[in-house]
Chains A and B, each alone.
Chain A
């Protein structure tokens, strides 16, 4: 079974990333969190830090400014002020 979900990273100036990823890790304001497919709906604030995700076989890392993460059943959206 396909284990990926759609990840979308948006900033006020552009869409930073969009694609099917299999694992996501990021710094929420009360500790780091991880998301796999079928995560329960979650809305959390993000601290400045690094988010990591697996896109195909590639492991990617992004440094982000503060923001928010919204987890829906088949989709994750990350809203950030900017990324470095």
Chain B
């Protein structure tokens, strides 16, 4: 390579670096917001979970609710796959999709898939899996009201008794540098049977009506919490992978600058020795 080629490469890498730097900063802002949303959601989720599990432990044995029963006539499973819409987020999608693919190869015929996020839909539809519904653009403006439609869709699908169970596959939010696939059994509902702990409540209107109203809300908030978690994990991974990319460009630039200087020095030495050799020949 001559000096001009090397210089061209340095300039182009510098441009790439500017892009990855900007993406990292955007991701950092989004990550902070996603994390805040996740934290803000926790008290509500925890509280409604407490109330529901308390009520469930108090319910009579003959109480029946469709959310607790898994239909007997079917073997089908509804799998909800939560990925991102966009790339550049390290192993966020790839490791999740790998795990999902593995799972589907075993039980693909009995699984209907609902995807949230464009990446998952693209990946699975190319491989010929049946996707019953695909949502995208959910994470752009994630709030409780905006995901209502999706949650209702999921709950109606289970209510139609076509599915034995509903499972969610998503990336758990643990640390920002690593994607951890989590498989969560959403329906039918299962609670650890525990002894009733709280003092006796007065129920208004009554326990049955309360449970009927609370359960869908509880499920919504669980799904919403998972979406928040996936979003935080996505932005965190994007931030760290863009930081890594920026570091890589820096390293490449260092290497290329060194090479450039070497070639340049070589050229100078060559020209000088030519000059000296020429002068010696003349005199």
Q: Are B51 and A15 in contact (CB under 8 A)?
A: no
| Among B37, B202, B205, contact of A45 (Cβ-Cβ < 8 Å) | B205
Chain A hits for B37, CB < 8 A: 13
**Nearest-CB distance from B78 to chain A (Å)?**
23
Q: In the complex, given contacts A11-B44, A43-B51, what are 10 additional A-B residue pairs having Cβ atoms less than 8 angstroms apart?
A: A12-B44, A12-B144, A15-B43, A41-B200, A43-B55, A43-B201, A43-B203, A45-B204, A70-B47, A82-B145
B47 & A42 in contact (Cβ 8 Å cutoff): no
B221 & A12 in contact (Cβ 8 Å cutoff): yes
Q: A12-B224, A82-B145 are in contact. Are A28 and B204 (CB under 8 A)?
A: yes
Report whether B144 and A11 are in contact in the complex, using a CB–CB cutoff of 8 Å.
yes
- Please state if B47 and A79 are interface contacts (CB–CB under 8 Å): yes
Chain B residues within CB distance 8 Å of chain A: 37, 40-41, 43-45, 47-48, 51, 55, 143-145, 198-205, 209-210, 213-214, 217, 220-221, 224
Contact call A41/B198, Cβ cutoff below 8 A: yes
Given contacts A12-B41, A15-B40, contact A70 B51 (CB under 8 A): yes
Binding site for B on A (CB under 8 A): 8, 10-15, 28-30, 33, 40-45, 68, 70, 72-73, 77, 79, 81-82
Q: Tell me, rounded to whole Å, the shortest Cβ–Cβ distance linking A78 to chain B.
A: 10
- In contact, A42 and B205 (Cβ under 8 angstroms): no
Residues on B with beta carbons closer than 8 Å to the beta carbon of A43: 51, 55, 201-204, 210
Q: Is the interface of B mostly helix, strand, loop or mixed?
A: helix
Report whether B43 and A44 are in contact in the complex, using a CB–CB cutoff of 8 Å.
no
> Which residues from A are CB-within-8-Å of B210?
43-45, 68
Tell me the bound Cα distance from A43 to B198 in angstroms: 12
Given contacts A41-B199, A43-B210, A45-B209, contact A77 B47 (CB under 8 A): yes
Contacts of A15 in B (CB 8 A): 40, 43
Say whether, besides A29-B205, A82-B144, A45 and B213 are in contact (CB < 8 Å): yes
**B residues within 8 A CB of A70?**
47, 51
Interface of A is mostly: strand
Among B37, B41, B204, max chain A CB count under 10 A is at B204
Residue of A nearest to B36 (CB): A14
- Residue on B nearest A73 in the bound complex, by CB: B199
A-B CB proximity, top 6 nearest? A44-B204, A12-B144, A10-B44, A43-B201, A42-B202, A14-B40
The answer to whether A29 touches B51, judged by C-beta atoms less than 8 angstroms apart, is no
B217 proximity list for chain A (CB < 8 A): 68, 81
Closest residue of B by beta carbon distance from A39: B202
Chain B residues in 8 Å Cβ range of A28 = 204
CA distance A73 to B55 in the complex (A): 18
